[in-house]
Structure 1
Amino acid sequence: MTSTAGSTAVPAARRGVRPRGLAWTVLRVHRPALLVWCGYVLLMVGWMLWVHHVPGARLRAELAACRELEGGCVDVMTFSHSLTQSWIGTFVAYSSYGVAAWAGASLVGRELERGTAQLAWAQSVSPARWLTARLAVPAVALAAGTTVLVLVYRWFWSASRDLRGDEWYYTDPFVNRGPAVLAYALCALAVGALAGIALGRALPALAVALGFVLWFHLYLDDHWYELWPTGTGTGTGGSRLPEGYPAAHFWPLHLMTTGVTLTVAALATGAAYWLLRRRTR
């Protein structure tokens, strides 16, 4: 009797520690997307570390050797190095585009189109709980991965000032050095979910979500300096640059941009819940 009870207790205990519930379902269904996101974060971190420690170190050594020459030498590598840094910043800053496309097409739109969402609702899972799980799980993954990217990028940007300059008001370093880049990702997630619920089809939701996030991101890129009262000037080529901004204005401007982006994310999230409730009455 004792051995029988013990043998039945062990499987029961094992079953008890297995992940379950809506969160586990989201992780299991969208595991490929999670692996892609983790791979992307690792790739960007590795790229920044390699650029700083390999070509960056070689370039610093060459520049030091040039300073010792009487006539100096022509510097042709700094531009190439700055271009690589720019590409890294662009990939980090605009990763929200991929988030919006995935959220609209796969996270919500495809499940509504295939009927798997309706099947879950018929199994005592309320539409609100269903949507909460599909927003909360990727939001946690985005927050974790983006925090790593922000911390590494801040170090990478600061450590490369000797090869690049201190143009903090350029779009990519302005967005990537604080929580604004995470706010964009969460906004893309919310907009993608709203588009998926509104359209109920994967491809149209992908197009609408990606289009909106593209427009919104580029709009704020051109107008973020208007969110904090200080002087501006006109740079080369006619583009307006915040020449009057001291470096101390970075955080007020950055946090204002983050607040605007999170407000849009909150509005999109609220609209998604409202629309889902209206359509499932």
Structure 2
Amino acid sequence: MSAVLQGLPRTVLRLHRTALLGWAAAVAALTGWLVWLNEVTAGSVLDSLARCRRTDLCHDAFTGLDYSEPTGWIGTLVSHSFLAVAAFAGGALIGRELESGTARLAWTQGVTPTRWLTAKLALPALAVTAGGTVLVLVYRWGWGAHRSLMGDQWSTGDVFVARGPLTVAYGLCALAVGALAALLLRRTLAALGAAVAATWLVDVLLTEYRADLWPKLIRTSPTPFTLPDGAWQVNRGRNAGGEFAVYHPASHFWPLHLVETGVVLALTTLATTAAFLVLRRRAA
């Protein structure tokens, strides 16, 4: 029995090596793309902009899109990588084995359902954490390297997620929700769709209420005023006292980011606990 238990991680790795290699390739590709943009493309764009200022032939200014657009797409892919994790967890990782009956076969070979699910989740969780951490670190470096060529801000949805541990938290949450969906539905395609939809809904809701996760600042003045550089303006208007603005300064990035990370990790814990409870009932 001990030999079977020791071989569980190896079995999981063998069964899902294609997905793990695909994840590693995606991390490497996005990292290489961002390095190329900052080390090669950015220099060419800056040279074009300098020529534009010297000669007044400013059609070359549009070459700035060669840097800003791909960088924006990388941020989108990093921040939404959790959707791929949810699809994998609900479909291939758990759903397919429950639907085919191989999970129950494993439970008759000296592996308890709890140990089976633990082994199933542990290796992907390690891969999601390691790959997500690499993407976050590289994206933080790339996003801050040439700010003059970018038009986004720290409060932009994709940028907000991709610049910190929230990326990893969403990935782990997607893994747990995918496992729970598969255990509840026991059908590969249904679990895949439900996992993607559920994690997407979590992201939409938290994005909608993100500004409320930390106390906002309010500034009022009888005359027009300008907010500090990098401020996230949540609301602005006029009242009896003059002009007012509700905003988050740039220093609020980490409080907002860490609070949302905590919320997502709490949901991850709940989904993981629920998955083990459902498994215990199914196995009984």
Band the TM-score falls in, shorter-chain normalisation = 0.7 to 0.9
More displaced 10-residue stretch of structure 1: 78-87 or 40-49: 78-87
Counterpart of 1:11?
none
Supply the distance in 2 between the matched residues of 1:178 and 1:197 (Cα, whole angstroms): 31
Contact 2:132 2:168 in 1 (8 A): yes
Q: Which amino acid aligns with 1:153?
A: Y
Counterpart of 2:38?
52
Match of 2:101 among 100, 112, 115: 115
Alpha carbon RMSD of aligned pairs, Å? 1.9
More displaced 10-residue stretch of structure 1: 38-47 or 48-57: 48-57
Supply the distance in 1 between the matched residues of 2:275 and 2:212 (Cα, whole angstroms): 29
Pair 1:249-2:234 in alignment: no
Structure 2 regions of 5+ residues with no counterpart?
A: 218-232, 237-244
Q: Which amino acid aligns with 1:249?
A: H
Cα deviation, residue 165, structure 1: 4.7
Cα deviation, residue 80, structure 1: 4.4
Match of 1:209 among 185, 195, 200: 195
Cα deviation, residue 166, structure 1: 6.2
* CA offset digits 1:52-87 (Å, max 9, x no partner): 122211001111223334x46342222443222111
Supply the distance in 1 between the matched residues of 2:73 and 2:152 (Cα, whole angstroms): 17
Pair 1:230-2:233 in alignment: no
Q: Which amino acid aligns with 1:247?
A: A
Cα deviation, residue 246, structure 1: 1.2
Supply the distance in 2 between the matched residues of 1:77 and 1:221 (Cα, whole angstroms): 31
Name the TM-score, length of structure 1 as normaliser.
0.87
Supply the distance in 2 between the matched residues of 1:191 and 1:166 (Cα, whole angstroms): 31
Counterpart of 1:183?
169
Counterpart of 1:66?
52
Task: Classify 1:154/1:118 alpha carbon distance in 2 versus 1 (closer, same or farther; 3 Å).
Answer: same
2:247 is paired with a residue of what secondary structure? coil
Match of 1:269 among 262, 272, 276: 272
Counterpart of 1:174?
160
Name the TM-score, length of structure 2 as normaliser.
0.86
Query: How many aligned positions are there?
Result: 257
* CA offset digits 1:136-168 (Å, max 9, x no partner): 110001111111101100000010212115611
Structure 1 segment 84-99 matched on structure 2, within 5 A? 84-99=70-85
* CA offset digits 1:195-236 (Å, max 9, x no partner): 01111110110010011111111221222111001145348x
Q: Which amino acid aligns with 2:254?
A: W
Pair 1:133-2:119 in alignment: yes
Structure 1 segment 157-172 matched on structure 2, within 5 A? 157-165=143-151, 167-172=153-158
Supply the distance in 1 between the matched residues of 2:195 and 2:234 (Cα, whole angstroms): 34
Supply the distance in 1 between the matched residues of 2:114 and 2:272 (Cα, whole angstroms): 11
Counterpart of 1:23?
9
1:125 is paired with a residue of what secondary structure? coil
Supply the distance in 1 between the matched residues of 2:209 and 2:40 (Cα, whole angstroms): 36
Counterpart of 1:195?
181
Matched-pair identity in %: 49
1:233 is paired with a residue of what secondary structure? strand
Structure 1 regions of 5+ residues with no counterpart?
A: 1-15, 236-241
More displaced 10-residue stretch of structure 1: 207-216 or 163-172: 163-172
